[in-house]
Amino acid sequence: MIPVRPGDHNPSLVLALRSIDRYFPHRKIWLAGHCPRWVNQDLVGWLPVEQLMSHWSNVLRIMEEVVRDPDISDNFTFFNDDFYVLAPVKGAPIIYEGSLEERAKRLRGLSLGDYSRGAQKTLEVLRGAGYEDPRNYDLHIPIPMDKESVQKALALLPVPYNFWPHFRTMVGAVGHYEGISGKDNKMSGVAQRIPAGSEYLSTSVRSLGAGHVGRELRRLFPSVCRFEKSYSKSGL
């Protein structure tokens, strides 16, 4: 399942779909939110969700609709539209990187933006619900989820809430996910290249559009796949 922002120009989604088609085992791909006109809806499911608010609020509204939709399976893999699969895999593992407390402290040292404050607020919400030392599952890597855990995580959010929830971590905590320790694989800089042996990768708008990693991804996935009706190479 992939949340998709409004707009038909979405080169990261193009490359994500091509990588999934080539390397990731699946029964069906679902887009939730917007479906670009170039997507082949004969093969790709679409759950329309109006998006009017901030990025993270939109994603949570999408998750609310996903758990209600009977056509989307109870167990699904949650992607972003800028996650790419770089090698044949049997499925996405559950990966965490340290604890949420460690991440919140690290982010406080970097900035005091919405995302940084959201880590601390998420920690407070989870501890208030009895999860004393939650792991950090908010990595730029696909993660398997189940609808029951998503519903429980949504129910923990105060109404109204005014922070950026670290929602993957919330789902992992309430679902008692285990997984393996790993590292994030977000490539945001223009000088970065795809690390050798990578199975998964994520980009920023800047690194995909103007960076080495973007050029490498376009070379890896140059051809229109079965999930596209068409897509101009100039759009990549």
Q: Where are the domains positioned within the chain? A: 2-235
- What does the pLDDT read at residue 234? 62
Angle, helix 167-174 to helix 55-68, in steps of 10 degrees: 40
Phi, then psi, of 194 in degrees rounded to 5: -65, 120
Q: Which amino acid is at 194?
A: I
What number of other Cβ atoms are within 10 A of residue 144's Cβ?
Answer: 16
Looking at residue 182, its pLDDT comes to 94
pLDDT for the residue numbered 204: 95
Distance CA 147, CA 153 (A): 10
**174: enclosing H helix or E strand:** helix 167-174
Q: Which residues contact 107 (CB under 8 A, 6 or more apart)?
A: 115, 116, 119
* Structure confidence at residue 112 (pLDDT): 65
Q: Please identify every stretch of the chain with a pLDDT value under 50, giving residue numbers as ranges.
A: none
Quote the CA–CA distance of 59 and 193 in Å, as a whole number.
29
User: What's the pLDDT at 122?
Assistant: 96
Q: What is the pLDDT of residue 53?
A: 74
Write down the CATH number for the domain with range 2-235. 3.90.550
- Alpha carbons 22 and 25: distance in angstroms, whole number: 9
Query: Model's pTM, two decimal places?
Result: 0.94
Kindly give the residue spans of alpha helices, DSSP state H, lying in 69-159: 100-110, 114-128, 147-156
User: What one-letter code names the amino acid at 103?
Assistant: R
